[in-house]
Amino acid sequence: MPGLSDNDSFGDDAPAAGLVAKGQAGDNAAPLTITEISGLLKRTVEDRFGFVRLRGELSGVKRAASGHLYCCLKDEGAVIDGVMWRGQVQRLPFQAEDGIEVVASGKLTTYPGRSKYQIVIETMEIAGEGALLALLEKTRQRLAAEGLFAQERKRALPFLPRVIGVVTSPTGAVIRDILHRLEDRFPTHVLVWPVQVQGKGAERGIAEAIRGFSAIPADGPVPRPDLLIVARGGGSIEDLWCFNEEVVVRALADSSIPVISAVGHETDTTLADHAADRRAPTPTAAAEIAVPVRRELQAAIDELGLRQRKCALRPVDLGRERLQARIARLPRPEALAAQATLKLDDLAERLRRGLADRAARARERLQGDSAQLSAPLLRERVRSAQRHLASVRLQRSLLTAPLAQRRERLAAIARLAEQLHPDRPLRRGYVMVLDREGKAVTDAARAAREAALTLKFRDGPLDVIPAAGAPAPVPPRKAPASPPSPAADRQPKLL
């Protein structure tokens, strides 16, 4: 190095450095290559830390295209890189995310290419129930922000489903409790989709079952459920964790069939409960929510039928009561007919006496007239009538005078009709405007509203069409009425 001589040194005990590396007396350590020292460090670390358990917070989590998981484990004072191969990632019971506190088990190794050490993670677990609850809350907030738990997404459950689909374990007590409760309340057709409700891969089976029920066609050989029940018995938060997985929550939110979530006991709450349309505290309660009680429905129907019959018969009963009350107030037929009978008898007696009196008077008048009906008297009356008829003479003026008067009046009426005929002004150049029905149009406003008009001239009619949008002409001011002429007063009146 410049500025240092062969005798210069960095310390009192340090060997003198020369330009060319040379072996020292008693020196039995040959220089190591970088690869050699890296290999020695790798073997030392792997032998010394063949298996370790580290607790820390995940950071920088990312999945490679190959399926491997790369991350960092950190605490308040240090950080270490970690890698998890694809086979172990597939068996991971939860989805690794930044900020989760975990306990990772594996072995330490070095990476000579960058002079780093890292842990090859074989298993990874949530670091305690507190960390698990923190992960649950974080997932809940993220899914709630997407609107998967919104109340507007909740659908009403069918009142009486014909087919109920159940997603649960076929061997547990849950399915027996649901079937027993349905049988007691209202026997219903039940389709069971057997799934694993705990452990690795359970969340995928539950999600596939929910989507499978939704994919059943309505007119297929397998009846499509009207309602789904996703059920599981009680357990710890680890046992129920599969119902907190995002894949199950999204399957519930996307289901085209209303869903009841009955996971755990009444105090257990999972994200599936938030995503379902209805939460039941227990699987038995889910069966009670799904169907009504058949006996109660039958009793209600009987009650409604009884009320219907009472409503139908009530007007009849009321009408019968009103009729009986009115009948009681009506008088007896004998009392009604008594006055009429008395009046009839009185009129009959008066009629008999009146006929007898009239016959007696007619008989007397006939006897008086018969005295005047003698043959000589009648012949004299006939001769007197003949003489009076022979003395009457018909005068010609009695017939001709009335005929002449009526002929003059008829001639006056004919002259007036000729003057008042509507076609007479046409000879003087006037035109008559007619509508399509042949009626006279006497004002411009009405003529503007007509689609077609006919102008009647002296020598014949002419069809015209009013111009569109033409303004209606202003009607002329009426001239003051002139007093009638004496000639008009002398015109004969029409009879």
Same domain, 178 and 284: yes
Sequence length of the chain is 495
Structural domain for 60, as ranges? 34-126
Q: Are residues 181 and 259 in the same domain?
A: yes
| Structural domain contains residue 456 | yes
- 170 shares a domain with 117: no
Number of folded domains that form the chain: 4
My answer on whether 279 and 157 are in the same domain is: yes
Is residue 286 classed exposed, middle or buried when 0-12, 13-18 and 19+ CB atoms within 10 A define those classes? Answer: buried
Quick one: 249 and 168 in the same domain? yes
Note whether 205 and 92 are same-domain residues.
no
Clarify whether residues 171 and 119 are in a common domain: no
Q: Give the CATH number of the domain where residue 74 resides.
A: 2.40.50.140
Q: Is 7 part of a structural domain of the chain?
A: no
What does each of the 495 residues of the chain score in pLDDT, given as a tens digit?
444 444 444 445 555 555 666 656 556 666 777 777 877 888 887 778 778 888 888 888 888 888 899 988 888 888 888 899 888 888 887 778 887 888 888 888 887 777 788 888 888 887 766 667 777 788 888 888 888 888 888 999 999 999 999 999 988 889 999 999 999 999 899 999 999 988 878 889 999 999 999 999 988 899 999 999 999 988 877 788 888 888 999 999 999 999 999 998 878 788 899 999 999 999 999 999 999 998 888 898 999 999 998 898 888 889 888 988 888 888 777 777 888 888 888 889 889 888 888 888 888 887 776 666 667 777 888 888 888 877 766 667 777 888 888 889 999 888 888 887 777 788 888 888 888 888 888 888 888 888 888 888 888 888 888 876 555 555 555 544 444 444 444 444 433
d(CA 425, CA 419): 9
Q: DSSP character for 440?
A: B
Look at residues 326, 347, 379 and tell me which one is the last residue of a structural domain: 326
Together in a domain, 172 and 192:
yes
In this structure, is residue 438 part of a structural domain?
Answer: yes
Q: What is the pLDDT of residues 218-252, one digit of tens each?
A: 888 999 999 999 999 888 777 888 888 889 999 99
CATH at residue 231: 3.40.50.261
| Backbone dihedral angles phi then psi of residue 113, each to the nearest 5 degrees | -60, -25
Residues 220 and 273 in one domain: yes
Indicate the helix (H) or strand (E) that contains 167: strand 163-168
DSSP letter (8 states) at residue 23:
P
173 and 270 fall within a common domain: yes
Are residue 176 and residue 215 in the same domain, yes or no?
A: yes
Q: Which of 341, 206, 328 has its CA nearest to residue 262? A: 206
pTM of the model: 0.47
- Is residue 274 included in any domain, yes or no? yes
Residue that terminates a domain, selected from 82, 110, 126: 126
Q: Do residues 231 and 101 both lie within one domain?
A: no
**Residue 334 covered by a domain:** no
Q: Is residue 389 part of a domain?
A: no
Backbone φ and ψ for 149, nearest 5 degrees, come out as -105, 10
In a domain, 266, yes or no: yes
pLDDT, one tens digit per residue, over 417-471 is 888 777 778 888 888 888 888 888 888 888 888 888 888 888 888 888 887 655 5
